[in-house]
A and B are shown apart, each in its own frame.
Chain A
């Protein structure tokens, strides 16, 4: 692999079936897409809101469309992809529930990764500091953070249970290393879920 993938992306990359069709929502400059294309012969398409990221992704030969997950997913046909991927983008959506609905409509399966707001460091920061947490994981101040819908692993588990979404896999990361599902809500900085409806 030409660039080291972010740990949550590496988990996703390992579990995407070879030769499948993938839509990467919030694909950034296309790092995961490029890895999937090169390593697994995946037909990858991307959606990204930032023009500079889109230009970089297209310049590396990827099929990326500039757009907003909150608005532009509606135009994609049902089950047009094997996987729809939403990495580190859920918490920035204006309507994350609707974005998830679209992911599960567009893809046969969906990968969703997000930072866990219930990680112990975040809890400590709020409990002892009394201030909105600014950590390595959540580096922005309250006024300039793109993360407008903070979510915890237990929130997400409750959400998918309530909506009768099947969890086919889940992975939890602490400092880039896997951590167990038990106590993940306390110990994991990141979560990756593989979902199906």
Chain B
């Protein structure tokens, strides 16, 4: 709990500012080994430790941990829950001190840069002046980029994986489907559902299902499910029901993804964070020219994309790289091959680890 106030891009002030965070390893004597990890839309601070609600291992243990490119034995690793979320940081589900009730839709609309400024307040609190690196995938990559643009003197290196410098019309469109699904659920009640203990689970599940499709590749879905039918007690190889049960395995899978998501995520947080993503356009914040965001920067950049990611395709990473080149920044960029679409960055990706490890070790 930090006193704030945090001045927001939308014009308001947030005070106090609650931030849920985890740290791993120790800050060295000269404070030069701090790495901030930024999470994605529905992620959290438990990057390398089990999720308190689901018990699942940390969401990026493939990259962070003993013997990994980001290693608590060498690095002071910080990961905080973004504001607007629901895992311990200020968001629509936390208490508005002026009313002693949950903020719900009275919580201010926030931006990616607001999330970054809140993280900067946390670093001040932790006594971390400058980051060795800020690292993130997907929405975390946007925060990493925003960090480098907003606090260039505090970031020596920036790693952006499977991400973009702005949300496209298609990105916004998918999010709008999700938001409308939540708001069309009668249990949403204009966002004031916290007292009822009966949240808009159906709407949130649909939002998650739609979004989940964008995280996978068509080839990946085809390989995993094809047109295969769901097994039934009487028909182990499945059969069409001539009804609207989950006949296809892919339907059953998506329903499961939707249902398990509602247990761990707040519907209003989903509205706020998708809004922040849709508002993200780093060039717009710098006079319409992305290169302006990086003029005279001393930060080194490492950009990684995946060839089957159609949510944030390689062309978006290339636009960032071009801007970095135009600004004369030290940039590395590679498109890696994976069958898994956007989700590839969270999965086993030895080449990504090799690239990030070399990049982080190469600090001059």
Binding site for B on A (CB under 8 A): 43, 45, 51, 54-55, 57-67, 72, 75-77, 80
Given A55-B354, A58-B359, A76-B326: A63 and B331 within 8 A (CB)?
A: yes
CA distance A58 to B355 in the complex (A): 6
Inter-subunit contact A62/B362 (CB<8 Å): yes
Given A75-B326, A76-B325: A55 and B334 within 8 A (CB)?
A: yes
CB distance from B132 to the nearest CB of A (A): 14
Inter-subunit contact B328/A58 (CB<8 Å): no
CA distance A160 to B244 in the complex (A): 71
Given A59-B355, A65-B325: A54 and B334 within 8 A (CB)?
A: yes
Residues of B within 8 Å of A43, CB to CB, are 330
CA distance A64 to B300 in the complex (A): 11
Inter-subunit contact A63/B332 (CB<8 Å): yes
Residues of A within 8 Å of B331, CB to CB, are 45, 63, 65
Inter-subunit contact A59/B322 (CB<8 Å): no
CB distance from A63 to the nearest CB of B (A): 4
Inter-subunit contact B328/A65 (CB<8 Å): no
Inter-subunit contact B300/A63 (CB<8 Å): yes
Given A51-B335, A55-B334: A60 and B358 within 8 A (CB)?
A: yes
Residues of A within 8 Å of B351, CB to CB, are 55
**Interchain CB contact (< 8 A) of A65 among B333, B355, B362:** B333
Q: Which of A59, A62, A64 has the largest number of chain B CB atoms within 10 A?
A: A59
**Interchain CB contact (< 8 A) of A58 among B322, B325, B334:** B334
CA distance A61 to B361 in the complex (A): 7
CA distance A107 to B96 in the complex (A): 57
CB distance from A20 to the nearest CB of B (A): 14
When each residue 337-364 of chain B gets 1 if its CB lies under 8 Å from chain A and 0 otherwise, what string results? Answer: 1000000000000010011011101100
CA distance A52 to B102 in the complex (A): 51
CA distance A58 to B322 in the complex (A): 17
Apart from the given pairs A55-B354, A61-B361, A77-B328, 19 other A-B contacts in the complex at a CB distance below 8 Å: A45-B330, A51-B334, A51-B335, A54-B332, A54-B333, A55-B351, A58-B355, A59-B359, A60-B362, A61-B362, A62-B362, A64-B332, A64-B333, A66-B335, A72-B318, A72-B322, A76-B325, A77-B325, A77-B326
Inter-subunit contact B336/A58 (CB<8 Å): no
Within 8 A of A (CB), among B252-273: none
13 residue pairs A–B, Cβ–Cβ below 8 Å: A51-B335, A54-B332, A54-B333, A55-B336, A55-B355, A59-B358, A59-B359, A60-B362, A63-B300, A64-B332, A66-B335, A67-B318, A75-B326
When each residue 285-312 of chain B gets 1 if its CB lies under 8 Å from chain A and 0 otherwise, what string results? Answer: 0000000000000001010000000000
| Cβ of B48 under 8 Å from chain A | no
CA distance A80 to B351 in the complex (A): 30
| Cβ of B321 under 8 Å from chain A | yes
Inter-subunit contact B321/A65 (CB<8 Å): yes
CA distance A57 to B361 in the complex (A): 13
Inter-subunit contact B337/A58 (CB<8 Å): no
